[in-house]
Structure 1
Amino acid sequence: SCIFCCCLTVVLLNSRLLISAGISLSMNHINNQQLKTVVTCDGFVQHLSCDTGVISVQSATYGRTSSQICSFGRPQSQISNTWCSINVPVIYKRCNGLRACGLNTQGLSTPDPCFGTYKYYTTNYICIPAETSVTCHGGYGYLKCKNGKTQINTANYGRTDKITCSQGRPSEQLQNTNCFSPNALNFVSKRCEGKSSCSILASNSVFSDPCFGTFKYLYIAYSCVSKCKCYCIEKLYCIIF
């Protein structure tokens, strides 16, 4: 719908909590989309997932704002500072547009905002409707909208798991699951945004080689939206005119 078009765009442009630490879960709603909250204690793996649609991270922080969360077995000196929090942009980059995302927090290399305090990661996200396209290296990816035009949510040329495009490939070509192309989203958006259909070659000649020796694939998540005129108030509510 027209309202969905406008508000979805706002959500995507401002994408930035499941509480695992443990794992506890809280949910609210933003623009009729269920907001999930995941908190993961430092050193554990954070898991985000969508039963339908793809992940759109609304906020991601690292630090401590509560003396209760991730406090079990910790001395008082490590949990008393509750004025400690920084944003974590890498979570947006790694998880936006995926149906599921697992992040080992030990490998995030996040700066320490409060030395001596035991910290945790807090991520807010919603699941937005989207189509996905996966194309193994050397093939063409095709995007198509029967109704509306393409709006690119995320794109990556590289490898983020060992299963996708793995058939017939030696194991050494599948081990690097931290392979991201820095220009993929920008290139795909310029090539395909706002079109009813689009094709794009998944190759090093198009995206360059982000991880030599790894067999790569092109992953694109996109939405089909209708054009509309609307005015958005505080990035949450839209008035159609």
Structure 2
Amino acid sequence: MSNPNRGSQTLLLNKPYGVLSQFTREQGSRWGCLADWVSVPEVYAAGRLDADSEGLLLLTSNGRLQQRLTDPRFGHWRTYWAQVEGEATASQLTQLEQGVPIQGKLTLPARAQPLASQLSDALPPRDPPIRTRATIPTSWITLSLREGRNRQVRRMTAAVGLPTLRLIRTTIDLMDGEAPLSLEGLSAGEWRPASTAEEQRLMRLLSSRRVQQRETPSSRGRRGGRPRG
């Protein structure tokens, strides 16, 4: 089957810790850049991850797709696994779901739940390792957002008393009813071209003009609750 997105290319990258979401290294910065890992020309990040965050980053040469995926009007769900300091309680997770004030503005309703231990135990350690304190345990949660404010996950978890120690983006939803783009199968620093099926989903996204509805806690309950990480 021919590529439905002729003339453009989209890559899925597992961005490692310590890498900026750009192809040029900042002068005097201790962080690396995407050019250290990806040699494909004329692709650019569709969205961003902070240098101290890891996980799924889309790179594309399609300017329309880059704009669509970063336009806040469309509110694509993005799911993160966060290792936090302390044991997350049901009350703290509810606060994250209902919204917390950061930088003077309440966050939109989110989805939060504990991460199954068999999933977190299978993750390779971060290089460099996270900081730990012997007297304070750590735990993992999964958090899904449809807005992308500056360092939002870290600010949200800190606001409920769960400072984030490690942060990994695992999936990006495109449209309701479509399978998300996933980090699965990619080790840190690895990338692959989007599959034919993924390219087709991306093209359907571009042909759709429907703005995503803002979800409320009540509508979230009617739709079946929290997603799995």
> TM-score, length-normalised on structure 2?
0.27
Higher strand residue share: 1
Name whichever structure is richer in helix by fraction: 2
